Amino acid sequence: MKRNIRMVLEYDGTRYNGWQRLGSDSGQNTIQGKLEDILCRMTGEGIQVIGSGRTDAGVHAYEQVANFHTNTDLTCDEIKHYFMAYLPKDIAVRSVDEVPERFHSRLSASAKTYLYRIARPDCPDVFQRKYTWQYPELLYPDRMQEASCFLVGIHDFKGFSSVKKTKKSTIREIYSIDILPLEREIQIRVRGNGFLYNMVRILTGTLVEAGAGLRSVSSVCDAFTSLDRKDAGMTAPPQGLFLAKVEYPPEVL
Amino acid sequence: MKRNIRMVLEYDGTRYNGWQRLGSDSGQNTIQGKLEDILCRMTGEGIQVIGSGRTDAGVHAYEQVANFHTNTDLTCDEIKHYFMAYLPKDIAVRSVDEVPERFHSRLSASAKTYLYRIARPDCPDVFQRKYTWQYPELLYPDRMQEASCFLVGIHDFKGFSSVKKTKKSTIREIYSIDILPLEREIQIRVRGNGFLYNMVRILTGTLVEAGAGLRSVSSVCDAFTSLDRKDAGMTAPPQGLFLAKVEYPPEVL
Q: Is the dihedral of CA A216, A217, A221, A223 positive or negative?
A: positive
Strand extents, DSSP E, chain B: 3-11, 50-51, 60-70, 91-99, 111-119, 153-156, 171-181, 185-192, 241-247
Contact of A64 with A19, CB cutoff 8 Å: yes
Q: Quickly name the fold that domain B111-247 has.
A: Alpha-Beta Plaits (3.30.70)
| Full-model pTM | 0.91
CB contacts of B134 in chain A (<8 Å) are 89
| Per-residue pLDDT reduced to its tens digit, A52-111 | 999 999 999 999 999 999 999 999 999 999 999 999 999 999 999 999 999 999 999 999
SS3 of chain B: helix, strand, coil, percent, to 5? 30, 30, 45
**Residues A46, A64: Cα–Cα separation, whole Å:** 22
Ordered by start, the domain boundaries in chain B are: 3-107, 111-247
CA angle B248, B249, B253 (to 5 degrees): 80
Q: Packing angle between helix B141-148 and helix B199-211, nearest 10 degrees?
A: 130
Q: How far apart are the first and last CA of chain A?
A: 18
The answer to whether domain A112-247 has CATH 3.20.20.80 is no
| A&B contacts, CB < 8 Å | 42
| Per-residue pLDDT reduced to its tens digit, A125-171 | 999 999 999 999 999 999 999 999 999 999 999 999 987 777 889 99
Long-range residue pairs from B130-134, CB within 8 A, at least 24 positions apart, any chain = B130/B14, B130/B239, B131/A127, B131/B60, B131/B239, B131/B240, B131/B242, B132/B185, B132/B239, B132/B240, B133/B204, B133/B236, B133/B237, B133/B239, B133/B240, B134/A89
Please check whether residue B90 touches A, CB under 8 A: yes
Asked if B3-107 and B111-247 have one fold, the answer is yes
- Between positions 45 and 74 of A, the ones with CB within 8 A of B are 60
Contact of B223 with B151, CB cutoff 8 Å: no
B227: left (phi over 0), alpha (psi -120 to 50) or beta: left
User: Which of A94, A123, A126 has the CB atom closest to B123's CB atom?
Assistant: A94
**ipTM of the complex in this document:** 0.89
Grade residue A116 by pLDDT with cuts at 50, 70 and 90: very high
CA angle B210, B211, B215 (to 5 degrees): 25
Which residues of chain B, if any, have pLDDT below 70?
24-27
Give the total residue count for chain A.
253
Contact of A238 with A56, CB cutoff 8 Å: yes
**Residues A57, A20: Cα–Cα separation, whole Å:** 9
User: Looking at chain B, which residue has its C-alpha nearest residue A14?
Assistant: B127
B85/chain A closest Cα distance in angstroms: 11
CATH number of A3-107: 3.30.70.580
Sequence-distant (≥ 6) Cβ neighbours of residue A155 within 8 angstroms: A171, A172, A173, A174, A221, A224
Q: Is the dihedral of CA A219, A224, A229, A233 positive or negative?
A: positive
Q: Is the dihedral of CA B40, B45, B46, B47 positive or negative?
A: negative
Count of C-beta atoms within a 10 Å radius of residue B226: 12
B127/A60 CB distance under 8 A: yes
Sequence-distant (≥ 6) Cβ neighbours of residue A214 within 8 angstroms: none
Does position A27 have pLDDT exceeding 80, yes or no?
Answer: no
| Per-residue pLDDT reduced to its tens digit, B26-61 | 668 999 999 999 999 999 999 999 999 999 999 999
Considering only A16-30, A196-210, A213-227, B88-102, which range has the smallest mean pLDDT? A16-30
User: Which of B10, B94, B127 has the CB atom closest to A131's CB atom?
Assistant: B127
User: Which of B10, B124, B129 has the CB atom closest to A126's CB atom?
Assistant: B10
